[in-house]
Structure 1
Amino acid sequence: MPPSNDATQAIGRPSNPGGAQAMTEKITIRLRTPSRLRNIELGLLFVACGICAGAMILVQLGAIGHIETGILWSGVLILVLALVMHIVLRVVASQADPFVLPIGLTLNGLGIAEIYRIDIPTWTTSTPTHAGERQIYWTIGAMVIAIIVLLGIRNYRVLARYRYIAMFTSIVLLLLPLVPGLGREGLNARVWIDLGPFSFQPGEIAKITLAIFFAGYLVQARDSLSLMGPKILGLQFPRPRDLGPILVIWAVAMLVLIFERDLGTSLLYFGLFLVMIYVATGKASWVLIGLVLFVGGAIVASLSLSYVHGRFAAWLTPFDSSVYNAYGGSYQLVTGLFGFANGGLIGTGLGQGSPQTTPLAQSDYIIASLGEELGLAGLVAILGLYLLLVSRGFRIAFVGQDDFGKLLGVGLSFAIALQVFVVMGGVTRVIPLTGLTMPFLAAGGSSLLSNWIIVALILRLSDGIRSGPRMVIG
């Protein structure tokens, strides 16, 4: 009789009495794993809700001296939706990663608490504006869309079929702000469109559709991009005709920068494609070409575009009086740096700082506001949550079996990572300010919607990977 292998021992007839017990244990572990993951998620959700509720209560006690229950009851709706999403995951994605949803909820809740706090000085006795409540309503809408994505996309691999539709959708979304009568210019950038009483930033959704297109395209074109081309100084460079995709993306990024005056979004699109093409091909030459194009484009833009030149001047000489007092100068950057300094190591305490003195403290500078009231220790904890979220996304991507899932997971996770780096680098003067928003924390429905869709897609990816044949745990 031929010797049995591990697979036979796991699923076939046991060759000894102890084999039956081993097989039973393996099957039991396989059946219990999904419920164990969801139980971990449920426990972490309650921890996340406790952190968010505690932050809101501390904000109220520190800023107004008493607790207003109205906004706390509004926040309960988010908890209910989080539990609904948890139940949906138990049914349609039982083996999804248990950490992604609680991390997103925690970051979102901290952002709501700080937005509510920043808005308090603008209240009047009769008409408080309650920007925190508006952020809660945006969060509810974004989480509902995320649940619809989970229910509607049962197999993420089908997205690869619609890569060219995703490309066309991305182009339309990028061009919408330039349509007369639809696009709206604000704060020197034309990135918004008006939809009745609401405003929306289509570029936030475009980063998701671009990631889907890049993943689908690179799976097909990977061999020609990585195996063919001349070698120069030990690096294999692509053929001139294969340079087309990166040149097109570079051109799109430059057009967004020129016509929409959106430095952050153009950087995000170009960086997203550069990382995904490197992961797909493993060729350092693509990174070198991309860096040359990016540095060259940045230099030309800084010399020829007043908008970009102003950002560089504010970055290099923020304390110069001519730059500090100029329209769109370094006042915002310097005020944010003073906020960080005021926060110190442990912060002034939630509700006890002065974050509202910084322009756009609720959106572009939400991280500086949190840095003042939570201090360096609080910022490290927040960045730790982002690091864990991105690492879970990368882990999901790299343990997957299919190339499309790997590339999509890397693209979605890197989009969050790059935004965090660009925002943190801008407000701390490591790099020039770009105008991107901090994922989950900053005010605005467009950003929340796109980031919760990313969460839903990462959860779907993790379930698809864990549900594969390799999930026999012994």
Structure 2
Amino acid sequence: MHGRGKERKLLLITFLYTLTGGAALYLRAPGPGGLWAVAAATVIFCGFMLLSVVWQRRGTGYDLYITPLISFLTGTGVIFLFRLNPAYGYRQLAWAIIGMAALYMTTTLLSSYHSLADYKYLFALAGIVALLLPIFFGIELGGAKSWLDLGLFHFQPSEFVKLLLVFFLAGYLVENRVLWRAAGGKEYSLPGLQEWGPLLGMWLTALLLLVFQKDLGTALIYFGTFLAMVYMATARLRYIISGAVLFLAGAAAAYLSVGHVRTRVAIWMNPWATAEGSGYQIIQSLYAIDAGGIFGSGLGAGFPEFIPAVHTDFIFAAICEETGLLGGIGILVVFMLLVYRGFKIALIKRDEYSVLMAAGFTALLGLQVFIIIAGVTKLLPMTGITLPFISYGGSSLVANFILAGMLLNISCEVDGA
């Protein structure tokens, strides 16, 4: 029986943190919003504690730090959404509950994840179909046509295609690599062009579909994950260099042919030229981060409502305004710890499929965090993607819980065959 006492202690600390946030909201503005924030902190804590108890009874050897880290991030997101707009907080809490259920189902149904390698081409086909659906039946939100309107809620297939991409790449790269030893070392290489066909075919299809959807932030994540996993499978720097050249060529082509991309680049270069139009959002984001200073204005004391769509990709600016530079750094540190745990899981595994799966999911998460925070702080052009576990969005939240569930499966102490 595996003890999970350390995990529960960390979950308790996280609960006290989110509970304090909910209580602060209630004390500042007594009402149902603050009470619901306190209730949300309690529900998230109870959900993760229940999972911990179930896993201990099953005798699993899952990583003890992943669930406290995602509990911290999810709780932060829910509390800030209740602060920004209680309507979004209610919905995010519901999605968090669904996400925890998805986490449990992932650790239960996909615990024997090695068998997934046999279905790699099925994952590729499912990913292509999922990307095609919004083009023909989707609606446009935030400049990207990547959403399906299902009546009660909007669904974004590309969030789940990210996971399918890792499933496909891990299986394909392991099946097609060639291993040899030279000078006492070990080096990997991919087969010839013929075997590269399906791999490049899926990458090009995903990239072209995302250009048609105008969801270039997700296309960048796909491309970055693709390059990261190919490099991890081959240890060849030339693939990174070739990929960088391809990226620059693709970026130039997109800039010349897609007006949406030109607009984003123009905003990035000089948002003050359109301060009352398209540049307004990023300018308000920078003002909010600056207004927070070192310690922040206090939860509920800032003015994040001046940032359009602050509950989605710009929620990090709201966090920095009300918790200061220290609060923003704290969020980054938690993400860095999560990425560290993911890569550590990859390093301790003995079979290549597990290594590539863990490293692929971790690279996917890390790239998404970097790209969105770089956009909010004007380091890169805005992309419109969500901050994992924190931004409002059911598709993103559930997909990231599944990602965390796969990392837990891979972290199990008993290596798969």
The TM-score with structure 1 as length reference comes to 0.82
Give me the whole-angstrom Cα distance separating, in 1, the residues matched to 2:403 and 2:190: 33
Matching residue within 392, 402, 412 for 1:443: 392
Q: What is the aligned partner in structure 2 of residue 22 from structure 1?
A: none
Kindly tell me: are residues 67 and 446 of structure 1, through their superposed partners in 2, closer, same or farther at Cα, counting changes over 3 Å?
Answer: closer
2:15–2:41: 8 Å Cα contact kept in structure 1? no
Matching residue within 267, 272, 284 for 2:220: 267
Matched, 1:69 2:35: yes
Matched, 1:95 2:76: no
Q: For residue 206 of structure 1, what is the amino acid of its counterpart?
A: V
Q: What is the aligned partner in structure 2 of residue 252 from structure 1?
A: 205
Matching residue within 70, 74, 82 for 2:48: 82
Matching residue within 94, 99, 103 for 1:142: 99
Give me the whole-angstrom Cα distance separating, in 2, the residues matched to 1:238 and 1:331: 49
Write the mapping of 1:385-400 to structure 2, written as runs, cut at 5 A: 385-400=334-349
| SS at structure 1 position matched to 2:389 | coil
| SS at structure 2 position matched to 1:190 | strand
Q: What is the aligned partner in structure 1 of residue 83 from structure 2?
A: 117
Kindly tell me: are residues 310 and 63 of structure 1, through their superposed partners in 2, closer, same or farther at Cα, counting changes over 3 Å?
Answer: farther
1:60–1:117: 8 Å Cα contact kept in structure 2? no
Q: What is the aligned partner in structure 1 of residue 170 from structure 2?
A: 215
> How far did residue 94 of structure 1 move?
2.3
> How far did residue 238 of structure 1 move?
7.4
Q: For residue 112 of structure 1, what is the amino acid of its counterpart?
A: V
The structure whose Rg is larger is 1
Matched, 1:358 2:358: no
> How far did residue 111 of structure 1 move?
0.6
Kindly tell me: are residues 359 and 154 of structure 1, through their superposed partners in 2, closer, same or farther at Cα, counting changes over 3 Å?
Answer: same
Matching residue within 125, 130, 141 for 2:87: 130
Write the mapping of 1:138-217 to structure 2, written as runs, cut at 5 A: 138-180=95-137, 183-217=138-172
2:190–2:234: 8 Å Cα contact kept in structure 1? no
Matching residue within 251, 262, 267 for 1:298: 251
> How far did residue 158 of structure 1 move?
1.6
Q: What is the aligned partner in structure 2 of residue 123 from structure 1?
A: none
Q: What is the aligned partner in structure 1 of residue 186 from structure 2?
A: none
> How far did residue 303 of structure 1 move?
1.7
Kindly tell me: are residues 93 and 295 of structure 1, through their superposed partners in 2, closer, same or farther at Cα, counting changes over 3 Å?
Answer: farther
Consecutive unaligned residues of structure 2, counting only runs of 5 or more, are 182-188
CA deviations over 1:223-281 (Å, ceiling 9, x no partner): 29x99xxxxxxxx9975445535643552343133210001110111111110010001
Give me the whole-angstrom Cα distance separating, in 2, the residues matched to 1:76 and 1:377: 25
Q: For residue 467 of structure 1, what is the amino acid of its counterpart?
A: V
CA deviations over 1:60-79 (Å, ceiling 9, x no partner): 33455998434423443222
> How far did residue 193 of structure 1 move?
0.5
Matched, 1:406 2:355: yes
Q: What is the aligned partner in structure 2 of residue 467 from structure 1?
A: 414
> How far did residue 199 of structure 1 move?
0.8
1:62–1:349: 8 Å Cα contact kept in structure 2? no
Q: What is the aligned partner in structure 1 of residue 265 from structure 2?
A: 312
Matched, 1:346 2:295: yes
1:397–1:410: 8 Å Cα contact kept in structure 2? yes
Q: What is the aligned partner in structure 1 of residue 232 from structure 2?
A: 279
Kindly tell me: are residues 269 and 237 of structure 1, through their superposed partners in 2, closer, same or farther at Cα, counting changes over 3 Å?
Answer: same
Q: What is the aligned partner in structure 1 of residue 276 from structure 2?
A: 325
> How far did residue 40 of structure 1 move?
0.5
Consecutive unaligned residues of structure 1, counting only runs of 5 or more, are 1-30, 120-128, 228-235, 470-474
| SS at structure 2 position matched to 1:130 | helix
1:223–1:281: 8 Å Cα contact kept in structure 2? no
| SS at structure 1 position matched to 2:154 | strand
Q: For residue 282 of structure 1, what is the amino acid of its counterpart?
A: A
Q: What is the aligned partner in structure 1 of residue 284 from structure 2?
A: 335
Give me the whole-angstrom Cα distance separating, in 2, the residues matched to 1:42 and 1:66: 29
Kindly tell me: are residues 67 and 206 of structure 1, through their superposed partners in 2, closer, same or farther at Cα, counting changes over 3 Å?
Answer: closer
1:342–1:372: 8 Å Cα contact kept in structure 2? yes
1:423–1:434: 8 Å Cα contact kept in structure 2? yes
2:264–2:381: 8 Å Cα contact kept in structure 1? yes
Q: What is the aligned partner in structure 2 of residue 23 from structure 1?
A: none
Q: For residue 275 of structure 2, what is the amino acid of its counterpart?
A: Y
Matched, 1:422 2:375: no
Matched, 1:381 2:338: no
> How far did residue 93 of structure 1 move?
5.5
Matching residue within 19, 42, 49 for 2:15: 49
Give me the whole-angstrom Cα distance separating, in 1, the residues matched to 2:32 and 2:40: 17
Give me the whole-angstrom Cα distance separating, in 2, the residues matched to 1:171 and 1:379: 36
Give me the whole-angstrom Cα distance separating, in 1, the residues matched to 2:367 and 2:27: 35
- Number of residues of Structure 1 aligned to a counterpart in Structure 2: 409
> How far did residue 468 of structure 1 move?
4.4
> How far did residue 319 of structure 1 move?
1.3
> How far did residue 198 of structure 1 move?
1.4
Give me the whole-angstrom Cα distance separating, in 2, the residues matched to 1:216 and 1:245: 12
> How far did residue 194 of structure 1 move?
1.4
